[in-house]
Amino acid sequence: MSLETALSRIAHLQQTLAPPPVPVAQPAPGAFNAALAQASGAPATAATASAPGAGTPAGQAVLNLVRNEVGVAEQPPGSNDSPRIAQYRQATAGAPGPGPWCAYFVSWAARESGVPIGDSGQGYGLVDDVWAWGERSGKAIPAAGATPQPGDLIVWDEHIGVVESVGADGSISTIEGNSSDRVNRRTYGSDGGGAIGYVRLG
């Protein structure tokens, strides 16, 4: 056997027996921008703090919480009340008795997740107040041309919920309090069923 043949066989054996290459971890989309913002002393925004489509950590905490509430229903139906719904109301300072409770539901979820809604974290019983606070605090995202993230609050005229997921076709799945007298899952087209916008927590 020639030296050249022996070296060729050795090289072939080394290639065959070598462990597979270890993939190099790539940073998540947006991670560079978040790191750059942190290094420059600028606050990370919702757009740079998490990968597109993943939602903010605060939004994910809210979403994980509300998933456990699906099925909570009014007792009796149509009463806007139950022992659990009363707990949602308690997350809003000065909440009156039973009434429409979708805003109480998201106020409760945000408070329980450590990101209370309101200038003083007081929560809101009216959807308009949640949206106005989102605009004042820079957390409101008008619906036109926007793609929501899981955990964003989705806001309609007089109703509010939490985005659970966004489909490849743009459809938006939600979890909403006070939807047919209970906490329900819903799915809408890419326009969010006429949503006026989203509030991104965190």
Q: Domain with 69 in it: what CATH number? A: 3.90.1720.10
| Nearest-5° Cα angle at 69, 118 to 72 | 110
Which helix (H) or strand (E) is 63 found in, with range? helix 57-67
Contact between residue 124 and residue 103 where contact means Cβ atoms under 8 Å apart: yes
> Sign of the C-alpha dihedral, residues 121, 126, 131, 132?
negative
Upstream peptide bond of 76 is cis (omega within 30 degrees of 0): yes
From the CB of residue 187, how many other CB atoms can be counted at a distance below 10 Å?
Answer: 12
Whether 98 is covered by a domain: the verdict is yes
Contact between residue 199 and residue 153 where contact means Cβ atoms under 8 Å apart: yes
Whether 138 is covered by a domain: the verdict is yes
CA dist., res. 189 & res. 89, Å (int): 30
Provide the domain limits for residue 177: 49-199
Domain count, the chain: 1
Whether 195 is covered by a domain: the verdict is yes
pLDDT of the chain, 202 residues: tens digit per residue: 666 665 666 665 566 565 554 444 443 433 443 443 344 343 333 333 334 467 899 999 999 999 999 999 999 999 999 999 999 999 999 888 899 999 999 999 999 999 999 999 999 999 999 999 999 999 999 999 999 999 999 999 999 999 999 999 999 999 999 999 999 999 999 999 999 999 999 8
Whether 23 is covered by a domain: the verdict is no
The conformation of residue 76, written as its DSSP 8-state character, comes to S
